[in-house]
Structure formats: structure tokens, C-alpha cells
Amino acid sequence: MMNKQAGEEPAAAVHAHGLTVRRGTGRTPRTVIDDIAFDVPRGRITGLLGPSGCGKSTLLRAIVGTQAHVTGTLDVLGRPAGHPDLRSRIGYVTQAPSVYDDLTVRQNLDYFAAILDPGRAAAIRRADAVDRAITDVDLTSRAGALAGNLSGGQRSRVSLAVALLGTPELLVLDEPTVGLDPVLRRDLWNLFHDIAATRGATILVSSHVMDEAERCHDLLLMREGRILAQDTPDALRTRTHSATVEEGFLRLVDEARALPAQEQTR
Amino acid sequence: MNAARTAATAARVLRQLRHDPRSIALMLLVPVLMLTLLRFVFDGSPRTFDSIGASLLGIFPLITMFLVTSIATLRERTSGTLERLLAMPLGKGDLIAGYALAFGAVAVVQSLLATGLALWVLGLDVVGSPWLLLLVALLDALLGTALGLFVSAFAASEFQAVQFMPAVIFPQLLLCGLFAARATMHPVLEGISDALPMSYAVDGMTQVLTHTDMTADFVRDAVIVAACALLVLALGAATLRRRTP
């Protein structure tokens, strides 16, 4: 599973070992993430890919530190996930845009910027950060519009802009390009590459659309709460003798299906 | 706790409200209209208007702030902004104090309008200082904010949150001494009424109504309401979880 040099390298932005997450408040919580191990290398774009409901969002929530009932080892930027020091070092975009609909784009960003970098002394720095974040997501012309009046794609870009405030070392993006048109999707991927290259940030981005895999440096393929593979897109295609990542993913799924069947008959 | 983050949160809540002028109008005008209505309902018995009117000056801010806060915090929970904020370096106390400050400010304006109108237009006859009326109104507003914040944790939808209003507020309204003096109630109910914070809010208002200066009873009532508000705010803070299942 972990065939690259990923191993126990302390330089990894995220290091997980024996990670299990149970969800549900009832008497029988479901195991959503089942004893997985992986590393997210620093300064690169890692794509977390898998079908809907495979546990991607839960894993991202665990990394950000908002998920309860997490067991095993999960270190983020050298600290256990959820450590208070991490709160200003991680930018997190939830799947549904989490912004205030009854505030304008700029007012939303102003508020979150004030939480990250409070105080009157930081006012100028904050204004710059807000301007840059609005420019980054290409919403300058809509800065004065109420978030609730924006289109779905624009609202998710406001949500992304909030995560870009405060130059986070790790960006955790949960399906940020869902529902966006192709041009915008390309622009956002260019932005992600730009952020990784010029700001040295680590980006962990989830998607259930396999063609986005080709745009990532590294891939974590996930299915039913387990990591199927961790590899670069090229290495994955070569290893599975496939033309695309999607094909490779399907091959791995078929292999994984065959294995437990053998185990069960034993 | 961080004062700048608290202030930023309060400013944000007020900014949200500013984009919703109809809500502001309802919050400010409904108490005024109800008091006017009451004045003419008791046209023939101004004494009754005095006692009920003074009590209502304390009850309005409590109910309004309860409703507004429970919906506002519920929205914060369901829209994902709460999760985002708690993943940021924001203290739970900052968030709660921000809400309390913002809605407290609205409550001050609401109470100024309602008290001013009651005293100088509708002829509400109060022996004590109007400032004391305002103080109790403000404490009541805080209590309403605190209760709203707390119950929003148990509501999964706005539909449920609104239902908490009759569940939490109505029993207090019936037992607070507005409809019948608390001493004349069935002993069991009197005991329950002794345990409910709104009873002290109304008692405090009655003290101002009938005494020229600040009585010991008034101070006790005000302290109890304030302490209840703080207690429930702390309980509300405990319902904000950084990690959720």
C-alpha cells in the first residue's frame, strides 16, 4: 500500500497510522475509517479520491480536528490533530460553503480575518489579506454582494477565500471544485498549484471526480473507509497498466474485491 | 478570551442584522405596539396597566432575545460557520460574549424605546427610577440570549427551535406573577416559580414600580437574574463542541 518513500518521514504534513474513526451518536456507531495509514508530503498537492460516502470528508474533518471519536495516530504539521496551535495554521473548506449569507463577500472575509489576526494594530495587514484572498478566487467584482445572492460556485469560492486568509501551511479542501464550470475549475487548480509552489503550502484536496486526479502531485485512493493506494498519478497508471487514473482505480477496486472474498472462504 | 475577537464577533452579528431591516423593525416596534395596545385594553383601570406594563417591560426583551438568539445560533450550527469558527483560533467564550454583546445592544435600544414610550406617552406610573427599569430589561435580555443559545443546541431545525419558545418561556410567563400573585399560587407551583429566573425579573420590575429607591429586594432580584444569565451562558458554551460526531 505504501510503496513510496512516504514511510515514517517526520517531514510529512500529515502522518496517520492505525487511524480509525467511528461516526454516529446511536448505540452502534459505524466505522467510517478503518485502521488506515498514510502520509501527506509537505509542499505538494495530494488528491484524496474515492466515491461518495467512502469516508473522505470524515478523514478531512479528523485532520482538521473537528471530528469526534478518532483513534490511532494522526499527526498534523508535527502536532496531534486538533491541537490548539494548529487552528491558525490550517485552512479548511467544508463541502457545503460555510459563509454568512447575510453578509457581503468582503464582510465575511473581514470577520474571519479578524478572528485569525485580531486587534486594531493588524487592521492594515488584515485589509491586505482580505484583498488578496478576494483576488485569488476572482471575486473582486462581487466583493460588495451579499453571499446569499451569489451563485453556488461563487459562494464556494467565498468559502475558499476564507481558507486562504492568514497564509495557512496546510489547506484542507473538501470537494472545492464540485459544481463549477470547466474554466473556473481550471483556474482554481492553477491557483492551488500557485499556492503550493510560491507559498510552500501543503494542499490536501478531496474529489470524487477521477479526472481531477491528473492535476495532483500525489494521490490517496480511498474506498469504503480504507486507503486503496498512495502513489503519484504516473506511478499508479504504470503499476495498474491503465491509461487513466480512473481505470487504475477500478482495477484496484476489483483486486480489493477479490481479496476479502478469498479471506472469507478461508 | 480575547477582547478583539469578541468585539469582531459582536460587530459581525450586528452587521448581519443590519442586512435584515425587517427583523430590526419587528424587534423594536412590536414591544412598543403591544404596550400601546395594553394601555387601551386597560383603559378603565390604569393601576392594572401600571403593574402589567412594568412586568412586560422586562418580559419583552427576554422573549425577543430568546427567539433571535436561538435561531441565529442554530443557523450558525447548520450553515457550517460554527464548525469553521471552532476550527479557527476563536474561543467559545469569545463567540458567546460576542452574541451577548450584540443582542444586548439591540435590547438596550428596544428597552429605551419601550420604557420611554410607556413612561412618557402612555402614562405608566412608576415610583422608582426609569434607569432601574432599563437595568432589569437589559439583564432580562441577557437571560433571553443565554436561554436561546442553550436551547439551540437541542434543536435540529428552525422548526424545532421556534417550538422551544412556548416550552421554555410560557411556563415562566404563567408562573412569574404576571397573571396571579406568586404567593396566591398552589404551594407546589409557588415553589417552582421560586426556581424560575423570570419570576425575579418581574419581582424586580415591581420593586421599581412601588419604591422610590433601590431596595434590598431589588438588588437580590437583579443579582439572581444576572447570575442565572451567566450560568446559562456557561451551559451554552459547554454545548459548543469543537469536535462533533
Structure confidence at residue A158 (pLDDT): 94
One-character DSSP codes across A159-180: HHHHHHTT--SEEEEESTTTT-
Judged by DSSP in three states, A39 sits in strand
Distance CA B13, CA A114 (A): 14
Beta-strand relationship, A45-49 and A70-76: unpaired
Interface test with A, best of B81, B83, B240 (most A CBs within 10 A): B81
Q: Are the Cβ atoms of A87 and B9 closer than 8 angstroms?
A: no
Is residue A254 pLDDT above 80, yes or no? yes
- Chain B contact present for A178, CB below 8 A: no
When pLDDT is cut at 50, 70 and 90, the band that residue A2 belongs to is: very low
When pLDDT is cut at 50, 70 and 90, the band that residue A9 belongs to is: very low
Distance CA B36, CA B53 (A): 10
Structure confidence at residue A41 (pLDDT): 95
- Report, as an integer, the average pLDDT of B99-118: 91
- Give the rounded percent of residues in chain A with a pLDDT score beyond 70: 94
Report the run of H or E that residue B244 belongs to, with start and end. none
Asked if B126 contacts B209 with a C-beta cutoff of 8 angstroms, the reply is yes
pLDDT digits (tens, 9 = 90+) for B77-93: 888 899 999 999 999 99
Task: Write out chain B residues lying below 8 Å of A162, CB-based.
Answer: 84
Interface test with B, best of A111, A150, A175 (most B CBs within 10 A): A111
Least CB–CB distance from A94: residue in B19, B83, B241: B83
Structure confidence at residue A5 (pLDDT): 45
- Chain A contact present for B38, CB below 8 A: no
When pLDDT is cut at 50, 70 and 90, the band that residue A40 belongs to is: very high
When pLDDT is cut at 50, 70 and 90, the band that residue A4 belongs to is: very low
Distance CA A178, CA A209 (A): 9
Is residue A262 pLDDT above 60, yes or no? no
Is residue A1 pLDDT above 80, yes or no? no
- Residue carrying C-alpha cell 478531512: A60
Crossing angle of helices B130-151 and B216-239, rounded to 10°: 20
CB atoms within 10 A of CB A190: 11
Q: Are the Cβ atoms of B12 and A100 closer than 8 angstroms?
A: yes
- Chain A contact present for B186, CB below 8 A: no
Distance CA A77, CA A86 (A): 8
Question: Greater confidence, A262 or B149?
Answer: B149
- Report, as an integer, the average pLDDT of A69-83: 94
Residue type, A257: R
Give 3-state DSSP helix, strand, coil % of chain A, rounded to 5. 40, 25, 35
Residue of chain B whose alpha carbon sits nearest to that of A146: B19
When pLDDT is cut at 50, 70 and 90, the band that residue A75 belongs to is: very high
Interface test with A, best of B15, B75, B76 (most A CBs within 10 A): B15
Is residue B245 pLDDT above 90, yes or no? no
**How big is the A-B interface in CB pairs under 8 Å?**
87
When pLDDT is cut at 50, 70 and 90, the band that residue A261 belongs to is: low
Cα B35–chain centre separation: 17
The sheet that has A45-49: what strands, in order across it? A90-93, A170-174, A202-207, A45-49, A218-223, A226-231
Task: Write out chain A residues lying below 8 Å of B8, CB-based.
Answer: 111, 114-115, 118
- Chain B contact present for A127, CB below 8 A: no
Mean pLDDT (chain A) is 89
Structure confidence at residue A95 (pLDDT): 86
Structure confidence at residue A263 (pLDDT): 55
Residue of chain A whose alpha carbon sits nearest to that of B94: A115
Crossing angle of helices A182-198 and A152-164, rounded to 10°: 0
Structure confidence at residue B195 (pLDDT): 92
Is residue A265 pLDDT above 70, yes or no? no
Is residue A39 pLDDT above 90, yes or no? yes
Distance CA A263, CA B203 (A): 74
Is residue B136 pLDDT above 80, yes or no? yes
When pLDDT is cut at 50, 70 and 90, the band that residue A196 belongs to is: very high
Q: Are the Cβ atoms of B84 and A112 closer than 8 angstroms?
A: yes
Task: Write out chain B residues lying below 8 Å of A129, CB-based.
Answer: none
- Chain B contact present for A96, CB below 8 A: yes
Distance CA B106, CA B141 (A): 9
When pLDDT is cut at 50, 70 and 90, the band that residue A13 belongs to is: very high
pLDDT digits (tens, 9 = 90+) for A213-252: 889 999 999 999 999 999 999 999 999 999 999 899 899 9
Distance CA A89, CA B142 (A): 35
Taking the CA atoms of residue A22, residue A24, residue A27 and residue A30 in that order, the dihedral angle to the nearest 10 degrees is -40
Structure confidence at residue A3 (pLDDT): 44
Least CB–CB distance from A66: residue in B9, B81, B243: B243
Q: Are the Cβ atoms of B88 and A115 closer than 8 angstroms?
A: yes
Judged by DSSP in three states, A4 sits in coil
Task: Write out chain A residues lying below 8 Å of B4, CB-based.
Answer: 114, 118-120
Q: Are the Cβ atoms of A111 and B84 closer than 8 angstroms?
A: no
Least confident of A3-12, A64-73, A152-161: A3-12
Residue B77 grid cell: 450550527
Question: Greater confidence, A67 or A258?
Answer: A67
Least CB–CB distance from B83: residue in A29, A66, A84: A66
Is residue A145 pLDDT above 90, yes or no? yes
Cα B112–chain centre separation: 14
Interface of B with A in 48-87 (CB under 8 A): 79-81, 83-87
When pLDDT is cut at 50, 70 and 90, the band that residue A43 belongs to is: very high
